[in-house]
Amino acid sequence: MAADPTRRVIIAAAAVLPLVAVSGCGGVDVLASPPAPARDVGLLRAAIAAEQLMIMRYAAVLGDVQNPGQGAAGGGTSASLTAALEPLLAEHRAHLAQLRSRLNVPAGSTSPSPSPSRRAGSAPPVPTAPTAAIAFLRAAEQAAATAMLDRMRGAAASLAQLFASISASEATHVPVLDDAVRGIAARAGA
């Protein structure tokens, strides 16, 4: 069965295309142009790896926030930061699930993406001080949104729409993180 996994993945990605036209905007007839499945698979794998990295970063920051070691958050800061970060982490998980669904690897395969970051499974280094950690996530979100837009430029129609939407979602995370920093500052000043 595992004769040619790459080919199976490519075929699955192409077959998914008609299901993802955005409603009512005339996108459907546009999709008639032939996609470039091989390139899309590469872009999808890169997007999946990027989301996995963001998830690990959020998980690492949340771990530090909830188990403060040296110089980390106090109780009130910890609770409010957790409340601010968890919805953003949940959205990255939704991005990852949707991206993986587009790859549509054969059932029974436990690792749809052979990304080294996933295999390692270890937390990436993140700053421990809350303000620095949030600034780190903010920069990471901006970079992720930009990279997703770059992928959009080379993708076939339906995947381009998904990349654009995810990039926009990541851009909206930036003001949320700015608010979180202001919350920390306000609490410190109080």
Partner 1 sequence: MSKLEEPREASGGHRVSSRAPRAAAPGTIHALQAALAAEHAAVYGYGVVGAYLTGSSRAAATADWVAHQEARDELEAVLRSSGSQPGPAAVAYRLPIPVRTPGEAVSLAVILEDRIATAYLGLVALTTPAVRELGALQVRASALRAAFWRGSTVAFPGLTAAALAIPQRPAPDREASASP
The CA distance from 109 to 3, in Å, is 13
**Two tokens, residue 188:** 């410190």
Member of 21, 46, 59, 129 binding partner 1 (CB under 8 A): 21
Stretch that binds partner 1, among 52-60, 62-70, 82-90, 117-125 (CB under 8 A): 82-90
152 in contact with partner 1 (CB under 8 A): yes
Member of 9, 16, 61, 184 binding partner 1 (CB under 8 A): 16
The CA distance from 32 to 14, in Å, is 12
The CA distance from 49 to 170, in Å, is 15
Member of 144, 145, 180, 181 binding partner 1 (CB under 8 A): 145
4 in contact with partner 1 (CB under 8 A): no
Residue 59 Cβ, how far from partner 1 at the closest point, in Å?
17
Member of 7, 15, 79, 185 binding partner 1 (CB under 8 A): 15
Residue type at 166 in one-letter notation: I
Member of 107, 116, 122, 125 binding partner 1 (CB under 8 A): 107
Q: Which of 169, 33, 186, 185 is nearest to 96 (CA)?
A: 169
Write the interaction track for partner 1 spanning residues 115-144; mark x where CB under 8 A is met and - where it is not: ------------------------------
10 in contact with partner 1 (CB under 8 A): no
- Residues of this chain that interact with partner 1 (CB under 8 A) are 1, 15-16, 19-27, 29-31, 33, 87-88, 90-91, 94-95, 98, 101, 104, 107, 145, 149, 152-153, 157-158, 160-162, 164-169, 171-176, 178-179
